[in-house]
């Protein structure tokens, strides 16, 4: 059976609009339902599309069919950059059992008439090289147990390689929005029926923000909480280090270590400030005012025998570069975070 020809169809993700099927997959082209008189889908194509969906669902249920990547195991890792953007996924209509299970786990024996939005779901984003339709597919699992679809092919092609570099037993974990409800389908007689459906949006960084450009320290370390940007000074004295980070292209998301130092002054006694290092090499210091707001946090982690690691961004060229560190001020760090990094008795 061949794929249905290109046509407009009711959007499986949003029942208030049409979405263009290009003969192979859903596209990003949409149109309001109000334009139905000029964009109405071909009944034969609609019937063929429904048959295609049924055929693919049948393949997924077949014992002999190739299965997508297994449910994520191990530890979810947050993106290195917290500058996230919303990305709709595709293929939800092939995973209705997952949405029924998610609704049940949320306390609903059946999907409510008005639909339901899950509270604070998290998504695991994993390469799916065994996918029978695309060896560069990227699967999306909700709450670590339910496969709900994939990133669009054009997006997956950008993210697949970077996601494949994760260490075994780890995977990218991001916030998600999951809505479970119904959409309408029409038969050739113009009769409609309500079909259960799900709609998923994940929040992902640009590909360069998935992991840091450089390696994390080999020594025991702690990733400090994300916070307001802190500009450092003195980078111009350390361009020999900064040039190693392929400057002149996009900004680099990097892992920086923070250290409490007695910074000498031209006049007067040395003052306590926070030094910033990349791969063990100094690249500058935070101002006295900013250091005073962060130094207790850095000293606390250092006192645990671990390196304090912060997210940082480098931008510029081989002539001049700037480093910005994103780290919480000590007063903004919640007690539960302090408790989480403190060694437990007997460890």
Confidence of residue 5 (pLDDT cuts 50, 70, 90): low
Same domain, 200 and 279: no
Confidence of residue 61 (pLDDT cuts 50, 70, 90): very low
Segment 250-273 shows an average pLDDT of 91
Same domain, 150 and 88: yes
Does 195 or 272 have the greater pLDDT score?
Answer: 272
pLDDT at 53: 47
Same domain, 82 and 150: yes
Residue 298 has pLDDT above 70, yes or no: yes
Same domain, 334 and 256: yes
In a domain, 117, yes or no: yes
pLDDT at 93: 86
pLDDT at 105: 87
In a domain, 227, yes or no: yes
Same domain, 53 and 182: no
Residue 7 has pLDDT above 80, yes or no: no
Segment 247-267 shows an average pLDDT of 89
pLDDT at 67: 39
Same domain, 42 and 163: no
Query: What is the number of structural domains in the chain?
Result: 3
pTM for the structure as a whole: 0.68
In a domain, 214, yes or no: no
Write down which residue in 11, 43, 65 finishes a domain. Answer: 65
Same domain, 100 and 30: no
Q: Which of 18-27, 200-209, 216-225, 294-303 has the lowest mean pLDDT?
A: 18-27
Confidence of residue 56 (pLDDT cuts 50, 70, 90): very low
Write down which residue in 149, 178, 207 finishes a domain. Answer: 207
Sheet holding 17-21, edge to edge: 7-10, 17-21, 26-32
Residue 60 has pLDDT above 70, yes or no: no
Is the separation of the CB atoms in 266 and 302 below 8 Å? no
Q: Which of 5-9, 63-67, 100-104 has the lowest mean pLDDT?
A: 63-67
Percent of the chain with pLDDT over 70: 82
Q: How far apart are the first and last CA of the chain?
A: 61
Residue 78 has pLDDT above 80, yes or no: yes
pLDDT at 4: 63
pLDDT tens column, 155-178: 999 999 999 988 888 999 999 999
In a domain, 215, yes or no: no
pLDDT at 22: 66
Segment 113-138 shows an average pLDDT of 90
Segment 41-48 shows an average pLDDT of 49
Residue 299 has pLDDT above 70, yes or no: yes
Same domain, 72 and 59: no
In a domain, 213, yes or no: no
Same domain, 190 and 225: no
Write down which residue in 138, 173, 207 finishes a domain. Answer: 207
Same domain, 283 and 189: no
Same domain, 87 and 192: yes
Residue 225 has pLDDT above 80, yes or no: yes
Residue 269 has pLDDT above 60, yes or no: yes
In a domain, 123, yes or no: yes
Does 197 or 203 have the greater pLDDT score?
Answer: 203
In a domain, 346, yes or no: no
**Domain enclosing residue 35, as ranges:** 1-65
Residue 314 has pLDDT above 80, yes or no: yes
pLDDT at 180: 92
Same domain, 77 and 191: yes
In a domain, 290, yes or no: yes
Confidence of residue 59 (pLDDT cuts 50, 70, 90): very low
């Amino acid at each position: 059976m061949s794929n249905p020809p290109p046509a407009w169809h009711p959007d499986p993700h949003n029942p208030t609009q049409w979405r263009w099927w290009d003969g192979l997959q859903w596209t990003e082209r949409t149109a309001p339902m109000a334009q139905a008189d000029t964009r109405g889908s071909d009944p034969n194509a609609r019937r063929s599309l429904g048959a295609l969906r049924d055929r693919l669902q049948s393949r997924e249920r077949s014992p002999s069919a190739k299965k997508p990547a297994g449910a994520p195991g191990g530890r979810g890792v947050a993106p290195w950059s917290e500058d996230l953007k919303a990305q709709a996924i595709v293929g939800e209509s092939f995973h209705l059992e997952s949405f029924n299970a998610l609704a049940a786990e949320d306390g609903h024996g059946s999907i409510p008439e008005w639909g339901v939005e899950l509270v604070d779901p998290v998504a695991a984003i994993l390469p799916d090289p065994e996918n029978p339709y695309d060896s560069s597919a990227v699967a999306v699992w909700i709450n670590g147990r339910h496969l709900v679809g994939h990133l669009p092919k054009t997006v997956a092609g950008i993210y697949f390689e970077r996601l494949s570099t994760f260490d075994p037993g780890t995977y990218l974990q991001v916030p998600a929005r999951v809505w479970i409800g119904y959409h309408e389908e029409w038969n050739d007689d113009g009769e409609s029926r309500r079909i259960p459906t799900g709609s998923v949006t994940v929040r992902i960084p640009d590909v360069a923000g998935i992991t840091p450009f450089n390696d994390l320290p080999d020594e025991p370390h702690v990733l400090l909480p994300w916070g307001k940007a802190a500009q450092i000074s003195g980078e111009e004295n350390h361009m020999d280090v900064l040039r190693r980070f392929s400057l002149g292209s996009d900004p680099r998301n990097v892992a920086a270590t923070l250290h409490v130092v007695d910074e000498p002054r031209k006049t007067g006694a040395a003052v306590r400030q926070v030094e910033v290092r990349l791969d063990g090499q100094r690249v500058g210091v935070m101002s006295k005012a900013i250091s005073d707001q962060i130094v207790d946090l850095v000293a606390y982690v250092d006192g645990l025998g671990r390196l304090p690691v912060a997210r940082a961004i480098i931008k510029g060229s081989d002539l001049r570069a700037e480093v910005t560190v994103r780290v919480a001020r000590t007063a903004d760090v919640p007690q539960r975070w302090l408790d989480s990094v403190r060694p437990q008795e007997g460890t």
